[in-house]
Amino acid sequence: MNVQELKHAGLKKWVEEAVALMTPDAVEVCDGTQAEYDRMIKITVDGKLATPLNPEKRPGCVLFRSDPSDVARVENRTYIASEKEIDAGPTNNWIDPKELKKTMKELYTGCMKGRTMYVIPFSMGPVGSDIAKIGVEITDSAYVVANMHIMTRVGAKVLDVLGTDGYFVPCYHSVGKPLAQGESDNGVWPCAPLDKKYISHFPETREIWSYGSGYGGNALLGKKCLALRIASVLARDEGWLAEHMLILKITNPQGESKFITGAFPSACGKTNLAMLVPTLPGWKVETVGDDIAWMKFGKDGRLYAINPEAGFFGVAPGTSMESNPNAMHTIEKNTIFTNVALTADKDIWWEGIGYDAPGKLIDWNGNEWVQDKGNKEQKPAAHPNARFTGPAKQCPCIAKEWEDPAGVPISAFLFGGRRPKTIPLVNQAKSWIHGVFMGSIVGSEITAAALDLKVGTVRRDPFAMLPFCGYNMGDYFQHWINIGKKGDESKLPKIFFVNWFRKNAEGKFIWPGYGENSRVLAWVFERCAGTGKAVETPIGFMPTMDAISRPDGVTDSDMKELLTVDIEGWKAEIADIRANHYPKFGDKLPKELSAELEAIEGRLNNA
C-alpha cells in the first residue's frame, strides 16, 4: 500500500509531513504479511547487516550485530517532555517539549535521504480488543520492521480497525544516518553518537520521537515507549493500569485455574517465572505474557489483563534448558538474535546457555573468540544484554487465553526483588493500600558487580516501573490508590511480595528457585481461594511453617529463616525508606503511603 491509499485523513497528513521533513527516497506502508517480513530479512542479509543461521538447527533465524555503542536502552537519553517539569517528576529526565522538538526536527531534517521510509501500523494487544491501543511507527530500519512483525500485530487488519478517524499514537524513529549517493551501511548497524541519541516522549500530545538508535527498546517503539511510558499516561487518564508485569496462568490438580501478574526489577527472573515448569506434582503453569500487562475493569468489577505484545524480546545470556526450557524451545525457529555469538556451523551461543562453547566462535563484535575458562578477564562472547525476538505463539507453554480480546481475570499481583536478607520468601498485604506501599518500595540490593555503587544498599525500583513511568511517580502511586478506591476491594487482586534470593550466613541461596517457585505460587493460589494457611505479622500475612511444601534439601531451619519476620532488619528498611526513598517525591507522595509507613513502623515496634 502507498501513502495515497491511506483512508485515515489524519494519518495520511501525518505521514506526508514526515516525508517532507525526513526526505526518504521511497515510502512503504507495511501490510504485515509473511512476504513482507521475508523481504525485510533479505534486505538486511543483502546489506550484510544480518547473518542467516543454520536452516537445519535454526530454521528461519538470523543474527544481527549492533554498533558497540548501541546495545541497550539509553536511560540518560530518554526523556519525558511534559509541559511542566513537575509532571515528569524526580525519576525522569525532562526537557521542555518545545525546545526538544526544535532540536529533534533539526536532526530529522533529511535524515532518511538514501533510505526507505517504512510506515508500520501496529496494534498493542489483540486487534480490535477494547483494551488494545493502536500505534503507527515511521522508521528507516528494516531491522525494526522485522522485529515489530514479531513483537506486535502489524498491517492492513490494524488499519481496518483504525478506520477513517480512529485514535493512534504517532511514533517517529530514525537510525539517524542519511546515505550519500551510492553509499551503503557496509555491514555496520547504523546509529548516531550518544549525544545525538534521543528517545523522547510527549505525554500531553501522546507522541514518541526516537532518533539515533537502532536498539530494541529505543527503536521498537511499541515496546517500552508506547506499552509503558505513554500507556501509563493513558491509563492514568482513563482509569486503568499499564504495568511492567508478567502474566501467568496457574492450574491446580483439581483443574481450577487462576491468573497472576508479577512485577520485578531486571535480573530478578520475570521471564523465567512466566514460563516456569512446576516441580509441584499436579500443578501447571502457562504463559500469557512475560513483560507487560494492561488491565481494565470488566463488567463484573474484576481487573482483566491482556499482554499487549505478540512476541518475547528476551535477554539471551543466562537462558538455558535448566533455567528456562520453554524459552529455549520458543527460539528454535523464526527468531531474530541480536549480539549473541556465532558458532562455526552457524548456530548461536552465549554465556550461561548450559554448555561450553563448541570450538572457535565469532563474538558479538565480529571477532574470533575461543573460550578460556582459566581467564577470568576474558570478555564475553555474547554481549550481556544480547537479545532474542521470538513469536509468543511458538512458546510450548503459551496459554490458550493469551490472545483473548477480553483479557484474563487477575487474582493476584506479585512484587519482588533480589534481596539477600530481611525480605521473607513470601508475604501477603493486609489491604490494597498496604499492597501499594509494598509496590512502592520494591528494590534490589546492589552487588559487587556494580562498582560505582555501595554494596549492600538497596536500589529502589517502585513497581519495577522506575525507567518506564511516563509521569511523576508520586502521581503514579496516587493512581494505584485511586484504582483501589474505584474497585470493590473484595474483587481486586490480592497483593503479595516474593523474594527468591534470600541467602544464609555462608552467602548461599536458601531457596532453590526456578521450578520450585511453583510451591510459593501454589500458596498464593490457595490464599486467593481462601484456603491457604497463614499467620498475621507486622508486615502482613505469612505462610505457616507447613503451608508451603518443602523442596528437597531445604531444612526446618531454612524454612524458619525464610518465613520469620526480621524485626530489626525491617526497622532498618523503614528507616531507609523514610530517609532516602520517600523524600524524593516531596509533596507528590500520597498521604496514605506516609500513614502506611507509620502504621508498619508502629506494628514493628510493638512486635
Q: Which residues are catalytic?
A: 268
Cell, residue 372: 578460556
> 95: which residues sit within 8 A by CB, 6+ positions away?
79, 81, 200
Cell, residue 481: 490508590
Going by their DSSP bridges, the two strands 336-338 and 62-64 should be labelled as: parallel
Is 365 annotated to bind a ligand? Reply is no
Is 266 annotated to bind a ligand? Reply is yes
The three-point CA angle 590-593-598 to 5° equals 135
Is 217 annotated to bind a ligand? Reply is yes
Is 346 annotated to bind a ligand? Reply is no
Rounded to a whole number of angstroms, the CA Rg of the chain reads 24
Question: Are 165 and 46 contacting, i.e. CB atoms less than 8 angstroms apart?
Answer: no
**Which residues, in sequence order, are bridge partners of residue 303?**
297
Is 215 annotated to bind a ligand? Reply is yes
Q: Cβ atoms within 10 A of the Cβ of 285, count?
A: 23
Specify the residue for cell string 556465532: 342
Is 519 annotated to bind a ligand? Reply is no
Is 244 annotated to bind a ligand? Reply is yes
Q: Is the dihedral of CA 470, 93, 18, 50 positive or negative?
A: negative
Separation of alpha carbons 514 and 480, rounded Å: 30
Is 73 annotated to bind a ligand? Reply is yes
Question: Are 337 and 328 contacting, i.e. CB atoms less than 8 angstroms apart?
Answer: no
Is 61 annotated to bind a ligand? Reply is no
Is 93 annotated to bind a ligand? Reply is no
Q: What are the DSSP calls for 438-457, one per residue?
A: HHHT-EEE--TT-TTS-TT-
Is 607 annotated to bind a ligand? Reply is no
Question: Are 541 and 427 contacting, i.e. CB atoms less than 8 angstroms apart?
Answer: yes
Separation of alpha carbons 345 and 335, rounded Å: 17
Specify the residue for cell string 520517600: 582
> 606: which residues sit within 8 A by CB, 6+ positions away?
538
Is 387 annotated to bind a ligand? Reply is yes
Q: What is the distance, to the nearest Å, from the Cα of residue 203 to the centroid of all Cα atoms in its chain?
A: 20
Going by their DSSP bridges, the two strands 408-416 and 257-263 should be labelled as: parallel
Separation of alpha carbons 592 and 604, rounded Å: 18
What is the dihedral angle through the alpha carbons of 165, 170, 176, 181, rounded to the nearest 10 degrees? 0
Q: Residue 245, class by beta-carbon neighbours within 10 Å (0-12 exposed, 13-18 middle, 19+ buried)?
A: buried
Is 88 annotated to bind a ligand? Reply is no
Is 143 annotated to bind a ligand? Reply is no
3-state SS of 568-584? HHHHHHHHHHHHHHHHH
Specify the residue for cell string 525507567: 467
Is 418 annotated to bind a ligand? Reply is yes
Q: Cβ atoms within 10 A of the Cβ of 277, count?
A: 15
> 241: which residues sit within 8 A by CB, 6+ positions away?
235, 293, 294, 295, 296, 303, 480, 483
Going by their DSSP bridges, the two strands 62-64 and 169-174 should be labelled as: unpaired
Cell, residue 273: 517465572
Separation of alpha carbons 499 and 444, rounded Å: 10
Is 476 annotated to bind a ligand? Reply is no
486: left (phi over 0), alpha (psi -120 to 50) or beta: alpha
Cell, residue 465: 516501573
Residue positions forming the annotated binding site for substrate: 73, 215-217, 266, 385-387
Binding-site positions read: 73, 215-217, 224, 244, 266-272, 291, 385-387, 418, 514-517
Query: Annotated binding residues for Mn(2+), as ranges?
Result: 224, 244, 291
Binding residue numbers for GTP: 267-272, 387, 418, 514-517
